[in-house]
């Protein structure tokens, strides 16, 4: 299959988007693990971080 310039650009953007989603998803998982272990103010900060990452996703 031969891609024109627009199709090639769309594929590249889609790959970049997938990579960004994977990166943010890993950060969310990590932040959720920290939230479960945290107590007090640290738990509040961790929950805010998770919420911020989910919003970005």
pLDDT digits (tens, 9 = 90+) for 1-57: 567 888 999 999 999 999 999 999 998 888 888 887 778 888 888 888 888 888 887
Assess if residue 41 is contained within a domain: yes
pLDDT at 17: 95
CB distance 40 to 8 below 8 Å: no
Assess if residue 12 is contained within a domain: no
Assess if residue 15 is contained within a domain: no
CB distance 35 to 50 below 8 Å: yes
CB distance 38 to 46 below 8 Å: yes
Burial track 22-40 (b if 16+ CB lie within 10 A, e otherwise): eeeeebbeebeebbeeeee
Assess if residue 20 is contained within a domain: no
38 φψ region: left (φ > 0), alpha (ψ -120 to 50), beta (else): beta
Containing structural domain, residue 34: 26-57
Assess if residue 4 is contained within a domain: no
Number of domains in the chain: 1
Assess if residue 36 is contained within a domain: yes
């Amino acid at each position: 299959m031969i891609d024109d310039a627009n199709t090639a650009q769309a594929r590249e953007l889609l790959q970049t988007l997938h990579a960004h989603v994977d990166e943010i998803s890993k950060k969310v998982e990590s932040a959720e693990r920290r939230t479960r272990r945290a107590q007090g103010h640290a738990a509040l900060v961790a929950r805010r971080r998770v919420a911020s990452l989910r919003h970005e996703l």
